[in-house]
């Protein structure tokens, strides 16, 4: 009996030592630059004055639990660890087109999607890049959350000089450390939410290159007044470490004299879509996340039917569904988002813009019908 007690005691000590060692290693690892920097000083003072910042964190316009009723953290963890979900990875390469972005005429109004939420927009001679991720992992740990084969044909080197780099929020699949570093010398202006500029500051971006916005604020327009970019609400979360929701997440309205484009960032469905549509719409094109969703967390990620409803709320003439076809961050089949929204849209009737990765979408060509390329896989 004494020997057993001694063995239990030694085992407990070893377990505690292992936990302590793991904690120390984790803390050291999280000091690496890819984790960014928490807001402080004048930046934090400005954050504390924001209308939706309370008790040390940002809040959504309406109550937004992480999990829907009937779901729990422990239950979702059990599914993640022990359940299997077929079809999350494509069996073949995702088709993609390698467009020469350097040679695309600057006066061509166009949109190019690169998989997940990364989009390049040309409007009125301005070049806009949104949530670019061109590294080999959508997480802070190399070798994890890898892109699907065929989706990784673009890099930061392929891009011309960028007038506006828009970041919807600071999660790793939208604010990619390696890509942001590679774009530093060719980016004229960064537009992001309150607090997100602290990451850019740590990564060597000059302060005068970074504009941090609260909801409903607009970035200063260029001298020619060609493009107006306004930060609008989203229903989501933020954070790159232990501190959560200490930076602001957002959507964007991009306006010119001729067009209005809405970019959702990550967002669950909520009343903000109708409010944005009323204040800024109707939209010529809505780029809305449609992928990496689950009924368990649909308060922070739209389900396909909710995407269509959001597009209607915005008064969108056309809808480009994004946030799919590059990474596995949810349990659904890799092709379900595009299949499901196409099926549901048969009753709704919003023209869907579903290009291949890298395909140029000419904004003046409103009659183009896109092939359902995901059916080939």
Q: Which domains occur in the chain, in start order? A: 101-376 (3.60.15.10)
Nearest to 64 by CA among 269, 313, 331: 269
Tell me: cis bond preceding 282? Omega within 30 of 0 counts.
yes
231 closest CA partner among 252, 212, 248: 252
What confidence tens digit (pLDDT) does each residue in 113-152 have? 999 999 999 999 999 999 999 999 999 888 899 999 999 9
DSSP codes, 85-119:
-TTSS-SSPPPB----GGGS-TT--EEEE-SBT-E
pLDDT band at 286 (very low <50, low <70, confident <90, very high): very high
The Cα–Cα gap between 54 and 171 comes to: 21
Three-state secondary structure call for residue 253: strand
325, pLDDT greater than 60: yes
Beta bridge partners of 58: 53
Q: How confident is the model at residue 9 (pLDDT cuts 50, 70, 90)?
A: low
This prediction has a pTM of 0.93
Predicted pLDDT at 23: 56
Under DSSP, is residue 189 helix (H, G, I), strand (E, B) or coil? strand
CA distances, 139 to each of 135, 169, 175, 329 (Å): 10, 14, 10, 10
Under DSSP, the state recorded for 131 is S
Render the burial of 68-102: b for 16+ CB within 10 Å, e for the rest.
Answer: eeebeeeebeeeeeeeeeeeeebeeebbbeebebe
Q: Which whole-number Å values give the CA distances from 328 to 89, 140, 276, 301, 371, in the listed order? A: 7, 15, 30, 14, 23
Q: Which residue has the higher pLDDT, 247 or 142?
A: 247
Per residue in 70-104, pLDDT (tens digit) is: 888 888 888 887 888 999 999 999 999 999 999 99
pLDDT, mean over the chain: 92
């Amino acid at each position: 009996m004494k020997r057993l007690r001694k063995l239990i005691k030694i085992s407990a000590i070893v377990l505690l030592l292992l936990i302590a060692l793991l904690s120390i290693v984790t803390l050291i690892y999280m000091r690496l630059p890819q984790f960014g920097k928490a807001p402080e000083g004048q930046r934090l003072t400005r954050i504390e004055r924001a209308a939706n910042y309370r008790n040390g964190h940002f809040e959504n316009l309406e109550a937004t639990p992480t999990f829907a009723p009937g779901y729990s953290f422990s239950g979702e963890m059990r599914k993640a660890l022990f359940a299997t979900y077929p079809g999350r990875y494509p069996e073949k390469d995702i088709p993609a087109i390698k467009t020469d972005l350097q040679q695309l005429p600057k006066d061509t109004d166009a949109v190019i999607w690169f998989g997940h939420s990364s989009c390049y927009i040309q409007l009125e001679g301005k070049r806009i890049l949104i949530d670019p991720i061109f590294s080999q992992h959508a997480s802070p740990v190399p070798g994890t959350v890898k892109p699907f084969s065929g989706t990784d044909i673009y890099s930061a080197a392929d891009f011309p000089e960028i007038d506006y780099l828009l970041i919807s929020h600071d999660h790793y699949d939208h604010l990619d450390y390696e890509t942001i570093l590679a774009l530093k010398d060719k980016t004229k202006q960064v537009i992001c939410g309150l607090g997100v500029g602290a990451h850019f500051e740590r990564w060597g971006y000059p302060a005068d290159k970074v504009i941090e916005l609260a909801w409903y604020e607009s970035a200063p327009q260029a001298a020619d007044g060609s493009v107006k970019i306004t930060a609008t609400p989203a229903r989501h979360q933020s954070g790159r470490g232990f501190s959560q929701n200490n930076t602001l997440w957002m959507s964007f309205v991009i306006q010119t004299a001729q067009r209005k484009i809405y970019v959702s960032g990550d967002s669950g469905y909520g009343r903000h879509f109708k409010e944005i549509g009323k204040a800024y719409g109707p939209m010529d094109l809505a780029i809305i996340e449609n992928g990496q969703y689950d009924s368990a967390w649909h308060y922070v990620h739209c389900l396909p039917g909710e995407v269509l409803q959001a597009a209607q709320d915005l008064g969108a003439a056309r809808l480009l569904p994004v946030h799919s076809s590059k990474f596995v961050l949810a349990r659904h089949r890799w092709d379900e988002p595009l299949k499901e929204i196409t099926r549901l849209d048969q009753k709704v009737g919003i023209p869907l813009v579903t290009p291949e990765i890298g395909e140029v979408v000419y904004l003046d060509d409103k009659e183009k019908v896109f092939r359902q390329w995901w059916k080939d896989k």
